[in-house]
Structure 1
Amino acid sequence: MPALTRHWTQRVFSISYPTVCLGLLLGGGALPAFIPYASAQEQPRTYQIAAGDLGNALARFASQAGVSLSVDPSLVRGRNSAGLSGNYSVEEGFAALLRGSGLSLSEVGESAYTLVPASDASLQIQTTRVTSVSDPARTYEGERYAGGQVARRSAQGLLGSKDFMESPLSMTTYTSEAVKNQQARTLTDLTASDPAFRSTNPAGGRFEQFTIRGFSLFNSDVAYGGLYGVLPTYSIDMEMADRVDILRGPTQLVNGISPRGSVGGSVNIAPKRATDQPITEFTGSYISDSQTGGAVDIGRRFGEDNAFGLRFNGVKQSGDTEWDHQSVDREMAVLGLDFRSDRLRLSTDIGHTERQTDAPQERVLVNAAAPVPDADDVHDNFAQPWSKAHTRDTFGALRGEFDIDDSMMIYAAVGARESDHDFLRHNVPVTNAQGDFSVQPRDFTRDESVRTANVGVRKWLQTGPVSHELNLAADYFYMDFENGGGRYAATPSNLYDPITAPAPGVRTRDDTKTYTENRFSGVALSDTLGFMDDRLLLTLGARWQRVKVDDWADGIKQPTAYDEKKISPSVGVLFRATDQLSLYANYMEGLSQGKIAPSTSLNEDEIFPPFISRQIEAGAKYDFGTFAFTAAVFRIRQPAYETAAPVGNAALGTFGPNGKRENSGIELSMFGEPLPGVRLLGGVMYIDSELTDTNGGDNDGNRAPATPKLNANVGAEWDLSTVPGMTLTARTIYTSSQYLNQANSKKIGAWQRYDLGARYAFRVDDKDVTLRASVENVLNERDWISAGASDDSEAGLTISAPRTFLLSATLGF
């Protein structure tokens, strides 16, 4: 037996199930590889086939489909497949696995097939296809990695859609399947599985906010199909997401300037699109204490070659949470339309969301003279029953891309949002060890208007042995917002024994009415050069950026307005050492909008000049076929900000810059299916965060506030072989201690959370049914899970959510 034949045969046997019998090539001839299953299934079935070696992918698919396949190893040697995820018939599955391979399927008997070279010569060369920029929701065969929780590809703005093994960035892309199975309602719920993420605002609070790699990330900086500022500002419903793309580190080259200047990473929500298979699903849900609701997901394609698509997602959920006198009422409706032809692709998304929260949780502020409160003693909702948060957002986007030829594409997108936000709230400033604080009611309104656009061109070409992927793009972002409100008389309360205050009556003062206009624009150019048959990829790029901010207070133009410009260079290199191992490194700079003084400071809403962040990173990615492991080391630098301690009898301090901060860390992630029926998702992140050049050098060498040294997340799923369709789930989340201030004089302890769950999938009268049940915070631990927003110094302690039960049932028609 020739050596290459033995090698190929060993590789096939290594991934096959014990019942699979593959043919061996003897003397250059091929013998059939018979797989002893009864017959091929005519109806579509669900498959999860990992991307990788084509021979392995075909063998695994044939095994799962129950058919026999005869393969000449010389035909598949050195070829790869993008894998498979979803519902397919046997022939549809084979066609998807073989796409672009130059091979086709030939039926040689009942449930028996062989491979032959494709008669169409155009299939013998894998054509370079344009990958979507303007519509990152575009479907890719084999997009989901083994296990279905993570996708192989993600939208990377200027650089287009990239497989995680081909990108010089640290990335994780969560799928809609992960959203459903985790019963994630908002982005906070989904990112609980990611070690780089931590939520810094209470569940059931007025808004969502996070840290990523220790730096703040606001919902304003979450893109929708590649466009910033289109999604709702305060909370994002996950039912609208087909994928959630997470890139770590400053990403201004690929995405442009984000509205709030996040530098730890970026998030992109890919909108849902109709698939070739009709979708009709209804999900009923229950969340303790008494929240009930329903969600519909409808998708259809029409016309010749299914050119036209429609996808609608709607949600209505309301009821009480586990916190006393707190309730949440949310509504969402999103319609996605698209058209596709050989060269032209168009899509549009229109959405509206509303959220009403009564008695939303607030961060707990700790006075300079008070110790850190004991979270174990907090048993009741310390937010007043009359406090509320009501947000309304209407948004939309239009995208298009056109293939001029097989080596050039042009694209464009525009988006808009109109929002009205109304709050009646109060801070929780604890002043002593007994937990006393003063309730000063405040009504607050914020109206936002956003317009955004981008346009670009991508070109592939070859210069001798070097390939090029050239990208040129321009983008524009405009947002104006107006804040107003007033204050009411203060009354006493207590963190451990809350006192219900009377509902606010007559204002004691009106707040300053502020109006702000943000205009961000930029032009970016990049070239990805491929050497050694594209095993070595070098990306060189730069983005010219302009940040222009004008603001007014009670109609008077403020001196804090600015107009800044900068060119930010970036470089990334990736080396495919083997088909399974990628090594990468990058250096990125970014210009970000200046920080805005938080509501917990005397100079609330003051805008500071833009700043530059810098990151250097190196890492490795290993793809085992059904299980992947990534590792990265990074260092990110940017200015540090702090709300200084109050002076005299003042209740609040003044927010402003104070030195620089550097976050250096190690990040390890894993995802996939290491064993059949066993899935893992999670990782660990260690950060060494240091302050330098602080005022007077008082805090030099200290750790930046709200930045834990260690985050760890491990989620596991186990399909029970004894009960087909039954899956058990478990997750643990750990976060080490954090400081509250730059002086490192106060800190909160480490915390951990345990979640358990199960789901059961079955069919009733040809209808797919999935039942899900889970418990979050099984031990009902009371912890401070965050010390605030680290780089904004919007200090404040975030309390963990109580034990919460979640139930849902999905019926597919």
Structure 2
Amino acid sequence: MPAVIPCCPRPASSRLRPLLRLSLMLGLSASPLFITASWAEDSARRNYQVPAGSLSDALTRFAGLSGVNLSVDPALVGSRTSSGLSGEFAVEEGFARLLQGSGLQLQPVGEQAYILTPAPEGSSLQLAPTSILGATGGADGEVYAGGQVARRGSQGLLGSKDFMETPFSMTTYTGEAVKNLQARTLGDLIASDPSVRATNPAGGRYEQFTIRGLSLFNSDVAYNGLYGVLPTYTIDMEMADRVDIIKGPSQLINGISPRGSVGGGINVVPKRATDKPITSFTGSYASDSQVGGAVDVGRRFGEDNKFGIRFNGVKQSGDTEWDHQSVDREMAVLGLDFRGERLRLSTDIGRTERDTDAPQERVQVGANAKVPNANDVRDNYAQPWSKASTNDTFGAVNGEFDVSDSVMLYGGVGARKSNHDFLRHAVAVTNDAGDFSVQPRDFTRDENVRTATAGVRNWFHTGPVSHEVNLAASYFYMDFENGGARYAAARSNLYDPVETPTPVRPTRLDSKVYTENRFSGVALSDTLGFFDDRLLLTLGARWQRVKVEDWTDDVKGATAYDEEKVSPSGGILFKATDKLSLYANYMEGLSQGKIAPSTSVNEDEIFPPFISRQVEVGAKYDAGAFAVTAAVFRIKQPAYETNATTRVFGPNGKRENTGVELSVFGEPLDGFRLLGGVMYIDSELSDTTNGTFDGNRAPATPKYNVNLGAEWDVPTIQGLTLTSRGLYSSSQYLDQSNNKEIDSWERFDVGARYAFKVDEKNITLRANVENVADKRYWSSAGASDDSEPGLTLATPRTYLLSATVDF
């Protein structure tokens, strides 16, 4: 019997190659399996869960699970990758699936034994019919059991990784989850994640979130790894194939974000044409009377389907559940891609338009007013004449080139041009009766973004240690101009809104404020693999430069800055077993300084950059049918506030978020799926002015967030699935003094979907009811590091209906 030599997932060094050429034997005891020409038909089918990744690792795991011996020349496998397996397979068809497109084939050499050889020129692997339990999720690999979460997610500098090989906390939601939730915007989707919360009204001018209690703006949501390309205010989900959510500062892997988010990062992965033609139409309805339609068309062309085209278009308009509020949105995104043997290219071009009448604002609470009773807010307090109009045109080009089996070049460029026009008014209650002043403001904002990244990734060995070295450079430029006018004020009331006259004649013209942001950086990392990559150590650092300049009425501001810093980061992951991974990381990063909000007397003042630091340890358990992840973390950064008396915005002390996360996803029982988790945060202030607020809880940070969603396939009615979801957040303080507080809240959603066929057309009907109890509550007190604090009113009971026809 040949010597047993551990499998090596990447090219061996020249020093070890002669020894490794002898053989690689993989074997575990199992029921007898005989390799014959009819073996695929005769052998039993089993459920396998093999992560996407290096081809060597995939073959190693599958051979062990299936109980066969496999001899492999590591030089033959090289750095090839496999999309993995998720489903029921006979052994031979499982190997064929893993080897598809690799140019390699199996050759039987005895009972339960194989060797791997090059496939004859011009031959192709023929797959037997399979029963797939999980579908392939986009370009980056398989969907986890249950179909709601993908195994692999994009990690910028570090590439695409399986969640079990990632020393970070991350979740990747699939396009299937987006469709089944009937998520129209990113805010609809993140409701599934306990670490993420929306901090703006769903019917507002823009969306904003918190991750681990810290703000994340839409500007900080990446598009295929590029910041600033997606629309600034609202991101339509019909364009997304996957959505990656990484928890904690991610400057090493993604670079500095435009607004300096540090609680985590979100990356939207665009849709690509699949080998199977796509022609889909979805008709939708949302209460009160929003009606729309969406088309999704994808095709591949040319030899080996090298060229792909994918188009997604949406049109939806009508009234929402709030009186005199309506939303009209349009989206068109075209994706083109080329996949050659060594070269892969893609480009995406998109246009979105959104018009909202009477968008709601956060509710600010004056020093002399108590927290309003949300249950008594039954009407839309936004004036009928208020509006928000946003128009975004964007595009990106990405590419990868395999210089060799061990060296890859990659890069991307993106751009966006946006025009925004708002006629709005703040809502700041001044007394317990809920009175507030309606101060109309015409606000315009024009943005231009250009961004680029380029890098090289190299796989090699030094003795028994594997390396994956990444070197990348990034550049981000954005300029924007704000302008507008103010109008005469009138009075209204939160509980009994008064319709005020439509603004006509300005009482004051605002100054034109022009700002330029330039962020650049260079990052280097090395992931070292020990003990056949059971221990992975990632070390890296990113040099970052932040340059901000601003002009007010063509006069250069005094708060511009140009600063730079080297931010080290690192992570370690130990694969204790095939099912259990333990990890720890340290990350820090430089963030752009805060900008004083319009509600402060020092509006538009720019503050210097600041540094955030995180330490995290965690564990991930993959049972095949379901997975459980746990993390303990601590994040430190400066705290900011708008002084309640002086109305001056600025830094005041430090804040430390110490927390625990627990999440679960998958299909623990056949036909029963779970998605959710819990997050606990202890958020404490320190070093505040004169120690006034030291020891207080940071505002707008609940101690507990809990989410749990469940799906059940009704066994007696084929194609029928019942769904439910519960969300909970504990109480939150409004300010650093901890004198004002909003109550805890819970929300329950229910739904159903029914899939069937008519004349060979697949049809899926979906019905969801959000906030089924129609509870009125304050869902957020803003964000503790946010420049515009205020209360977010929950959306009333909303009905969502859709019908999808796949032609």
Q: TM-score, normalised by structure 1?
A: 0.88
Residue-by-residue CA offset, 1:367-398 (whole Å, 9 max, x unaligned): 00000000000000000000000000000011
Query: Deviation of residue 73 (structure 1)?
Result: 3.3
Residue-by-residue CA offset, 1:623-648 (whole Å, 9 max, x unaligned): 0011010000000000000000134x
Instruction: Say yes or no: does 1:686 pair with 2:680.
Output: yes
Matched residue count: 751
2:240 counterpart letter in structure 1: A
Residue matched to 2:9: none
**SS of equivalent residue, structure 2 residue 187:** helix
CA contact (8 A) 2:281 2:293 kept: yes
Instruction: Say yes or no: does 1:712 pair with 2:706.
Output: yes
Q: 1:284 to 1:796 in 2, by over 3 A?
A: same
Residue matched to 1:16: none
Taking the aligned partners of 1:808 and 1:718, their CA distance within structure 2 comes to 19
Unaligned 5+ segments in structure 2 are: 1-24, 122-135
CA contact (8 A) 1:169 1:586 kept: yes
2:68 counterpart letter in structure 1: P
1:275 counterpart letter in structure 2: T
Residue matched to 2:271: 272
Taking the aligned partners of 1:707 and 1:781, their CA distance within structure 2 comes to 21
1:160 counterpart letter in structure 2: G
Residue matched to 2:452: 453
CA contact (8 A) 1:24 1:30 kept: no
Match for residue 120 of structure 1 among 118, 121, 141: 118
1:601 counterpart letter in structure 2: S
Taking the aligned partners of 1:25 and 1:145, their CA distance within structure 2 comes to 28
Taking the aligned partners of 1:724 and 1:658, their CA distance within structure 2 comes to 59
CA contact (8 A) 1:48 1:148 kept: no
Taking the aligned partners of 2:401 and 2:267, their CA distance within structure 1 comes to 22
Residue-by-residue CA offset, 1:553-605 (whole Å, 9 max, x unaligned): 11110110000010000111000111100000000110000001112211121
Q: 1:324 to 1:758 in 2, by over 3 A?
A: same
Residue matched to 1:131: none
CA contact (8 A) 2:28 2:68 kept: no
CA contact (8 A) 2:335 2:347 kept: yes
CA contact (8 A) 1:522 1:545 kept: yes
Q: TM-score, normalised by structure 2?
A: 0.89
Taking the aligned partners of 1:220 and 1:333, their CA distance within structure 2 comes to 20
Residue-by-residue CA offset, 1:286-319 (whole Å, 9 max, x unaligned): 0000000000111100001111100000000000
2:140 counterpart letter in structure 1: Y
Residue matched to 1:633: 632
Query: Deviation of residue 523 (structure 1)?
Result: 0.4
Residue matched to 2:611: 612
Taking the aligned partners of 1:750 and 1:507, their CA distance within structure 2 comes to 41
Taking the aligned partners of 1:724 and 1:531, their CA distance within structure 2 comes to 48
Taking the aligned partners of 1:579 and 1:478, their CA distance within structure 2 comes to 44
Match for residue 798 of structure 1 among 745, 769, 792: 792
Residue matched to 2:300: 301
Query: Deviation of residue 511 (structure 1)?
Result: 1.2
Taking the aligned partners of 1:485 and 1:71, their CA distance within structure 2 comes to 68
CA contact (8 A) 1:618 1:634 kept: yes
Q: 1:76 to 1:702 in 2, by over 3 A?
A: farther
2:300 counterpart letter in structure 1: R
**SS of equivalent residue, structure 2 residue 97:** helix
Match for residue 738 of structure 1 among 717, 724, 732: 732
Residue matched to 1:43: none
Alignment of 1:426-445 (within 5 A): 426-445=425-444
Taking the aligned partners of 2:796 and 2:159, their CA distance within structure 1 comes to 41
Alignment of 1:90-105 (within 5 A): 95-99=96-100, 104=106
**SS of equivalent residue, structure 1 residue 188:** helix
Query: Deviation of residue 272 (structure 1)?
Result: 0.7
Residue matched to 2:575: 576
Residue matched to 1:520: 519
**SS of equivalent residue, structure 2 residue 191:** helix
Query: Deviation of residue 763 (structure 1)?
Result: 1.1
**SS of equivalent residue, structure 1 residue 362:** coil
Taking the aligned partners of 2:674 and 2:580, their CA distance within structure 1 comes to 20
Instruction: Say yes or no: does 1:74 pair with 2:73.
Output: no
Taking the aligned partners of 1:450 and 1:327, their CA distance within structure 2 comes to 29
Residue matched to 2:763: 769
Taking the aligned partners of 1:676 and 1:122, their CA distance within structure 2 comes to 41
Q: 1:256 to 1:677 in 2, by over 3 A?
A: same
Residue matched to 2:396: 397
CA contact (8 A) 1:641 1:657 kept: yes
Taking the aligned partners of 1:218 and 1:805, their CA distance within structure 2 comes to 27
Query: Deviation of residue 606 (structure 1)?
Result: 1.2
**SS of equivalent residue, structure 1 residue 229:** coil
Taking the aligned partners of 1:103 and 1:518, their CA distance within structure 2 comes to 53
Q: 1:87 to 1:514 in 2, by over 3 A?
A: farther
Query: Deviation of residue 764 (structure 1)?
Result: 1.0
Query: Deviation of residue 84 (structure 1)?
Result: 4.1
**SS of equivalent residue, structure 1 residue 50:** strand
2:439 counterpart letter in structure 1: Q
Alignment of 1:60-71 (within 5 A): none
2:251 counterpart letter in structure 1: Q
**SS of equivalent residue, structure 2 residue 782:** strand
**SS of equivalent residue, structure 1 residue 273:** coil
Residue matched to 2:620: 621
Residue-by-residue CA offset, 1:403-423 (whole Å, 9 max, x unaligned): 000000111211000000000
Taking the aligned partners of 1:689 and 1:500, their CA distance within structure 2 comes to 41
Residue-by-residue CA offset, 1:77-108 (whole Å, 9 max, x unaligned): 9x9985446999999876324557976499xx
Instruction: Say yes or no: does 1:140 pair with 2:140.
Output: yes
1:239 counterpart letter in structure 2: E
Query: Deviation of residue 341 (structure 1)?
Result: 0.6
Identity %: 71
Residue matched to 2:651: 657
CA contact (8 A) 2:319 2:325 kept: yes
Residue-by-residue CA offset, 1:651-683 (whole Å, 9 max, x unaligned): xx1110000000000000111111111110010
Taking the aligned partners of 2:66 and 2:446, their CA distance within structure 1 comes to 63
Query: Deviation of residue 6 (structure 1)?
Result: 12
Taking the aligned partners of 2:748 and 2:448, their CA distance within structure 1 comes to 40
